[in-house]
Structure 1
Amino acid sequence: MSFDDGNKTHGASVPAVPTWVPDTARRYLHHTVAGRPIRELARRAGCHASTVLRQIRRIEMRRDDPLVDAALAALAAVHFPPPAQPEGDPVRTVDREVAIMTDHSLFPSAALLEREARRVLACLSEPGAVLAVAEQMDKAVVVRAEGVRTAVVGTDVAQAMALKDWIACSAPGRVSRYRITGAGRAALRRLLAEAENRARADSDGGFSETQAAYDPPDEEVGGGLRRCRYGRAESPLAVLARRKDRDGQPFLDEALVRAGERLREDFELAQLGPRVAQNWDRFLTGGVRGGAEANLDRSGGAARDRVARALSDLGPGLGDVALRCCCYLEGLEQAERRMGWSARSGKIVLRIALQRLRRHYDRTARAEELIG
């Protein structure tokens, strides 16, 4: 529980402490600056007093870190009023009111910290990368082992990352060097996952939970214009194709993406046939088990037959994920929930399905050109 909401000192309102400040740092400042007893802090935190005491000692030991010390000093000057001063001490009052009016705007917001941390921590994850912070400078730089600068960040953001224990000082001095910590790597994974989930939710297609509308625009490729097949929204295959595996290779190579696009193209052609409202759900798990011939509908045209044969060849599970992600453009998360799979397993199954789909097309020797 926070003490700083609604605090007032000498008639001046104390700004709210930034949400990114760790609870341990808040308790340290409440005790050392605002004079709150440890037992009171422990009672409000719902823990033993010895736990709070250890947290305070740990923060005190970290004040040898220049960025941590600067962050705590700035937070103490603005957000944590000291015990009441004797009457007739106008100098201390004026100094504090000036600090409140000026310094609180220098702290980064939570959104800015997350955005900058994703960029900086990713650069620090490279082998030999360090964050160099010079005294009296308002910027810090990320430098690789070979001396190449990869990022620049404000010292206020660097102070916040140090206070959150995402970076640690390996060589203090006039130019202090910081490296990413285990907590920083865990924070980077969490921030990247949150950003990816927000992008999926905000997107109109690809990994989004709704199917993209068919709106074929023109796009510029190689200095010329060509017709897009399925619209501006990216398919799940396009997003996965940009990802890298642990060896640094594309998660989906070009041949697998082409196989998925070919299935999608036949699916679109089948929708243009005389039976527009076709029920493809019977090709999912259960319907596929009946074999290829049970699901073929000769009245649907050649494109429908090609889709039916491809899904039947894939079989249960693989046919499900191929139909949902390649044809319906469902998000992987939604497909995993529908089929009861564990989280993050869908992309592996989708890659296996695309590999078998490519072999299917190779066997049928139907090297037809894609539309457009």
Structure 2
Amino acid sequence: MGNGPRVAAWKDVVPDWVPRPAVHYLAHTEAGLPIRELARGAGCHASTVLRQIRSFETRREDPLVDAALHRLGRRVFLRGTGSSREETRMIAHSAEHEADPALTEGELRQQALRVLRRLCESGALLVVADNMDKAVIVRESADNEPTRTGIVEKKVAEALALKGWLQCGKTGRITRYAISSAGRDALSRLMAEAENKALGFADAQARFDGPGHEAPPAQADPGPRRGRRRRYGGTESPLVVLARRRDKSGQSFLTDDLVRAGERLREDFELAQMESRGAQDWESYLDMPAVGDAPTEGSTARARVIGALRDLGPGLGDVALQCCCYLEGLERIEKRMNWSARSGKIVLRIALQRLRRHYEQLGEAARMIG
């Protein structure tokens, strides 16, 4: 009867998003809990737990997985009470928790949606370097030059790798990761859950991913609704598609600096999590009230988006918001704005030129986060 509390206590120490096999690995290697005891607590055969432990031992060759397990194992220490048969108490490092707060499931859900969506774009990779405190997402441009499209906290990248959503390439001083098939499946679930939440099915959402917590089936679309929110539909942004188009002289329709300006706006938009606030047009964003008195990364990013949209003005601000941030296709934008066919890309290019000038005037403050 004393075995159950020890296993349950260890599960309470690690965050909810950690896969059960990883919990078993940590409980065995860090806490020294026997495999049979873990199997009894999980209601499975001891050989199953053994395979899980061996699998994660092999996966420690992946730098992000190794760092994630090290970070999780560092969060607790064990203090024995004497005999090995007596119950072992596990006490969380208070200083460690203050300096490095654990990533919550809600935070991981938000970040995973942002990062995995970026990694689904053609030629996108997550790059991790030994001397960098953050990971970066890069994508090859039309001229085969890498363009940075996002910044990822190291502990977020580690969590994505631990869950098997990233596929490690060649390791070394710089390690590159691509999205895995499991990551694409997870992105589909997260996007479906975000859509369901926007349609009013938030109460039906279950804990995402993990043994014993299967993702709920997608709710049937009840049809068009007033105020229905748009979802990020494609795996590539309209800017990337337009950047690949060339005119008769072989010049790209959108140059790399224009694409970077649009990506800069999108990065701030995602950091601000504006899609959760319900506004979908240029004027609505300008009227949104401030959130709290203490500035946060999200509130400052939101202020930068509002500043850029004010500079663009109506029309240009609308097309930049819909195309760069909501990733909506130009044909739909043309219909919504009552523009003539094939005029959207011209307006978009003008908006990006104005946006590039806006960021050039900001100088160092316009650099992408990180």
TM score, norm. by length of structure 2? 0.50
Select the structure of larger CA radius of gyration. 1
Which gives a bigger RCO, structure 1 or 2 (Cα 8 Å, sep 6+)? 2
Taking structure 1 as the reference length, the TM-score comes to 0.50
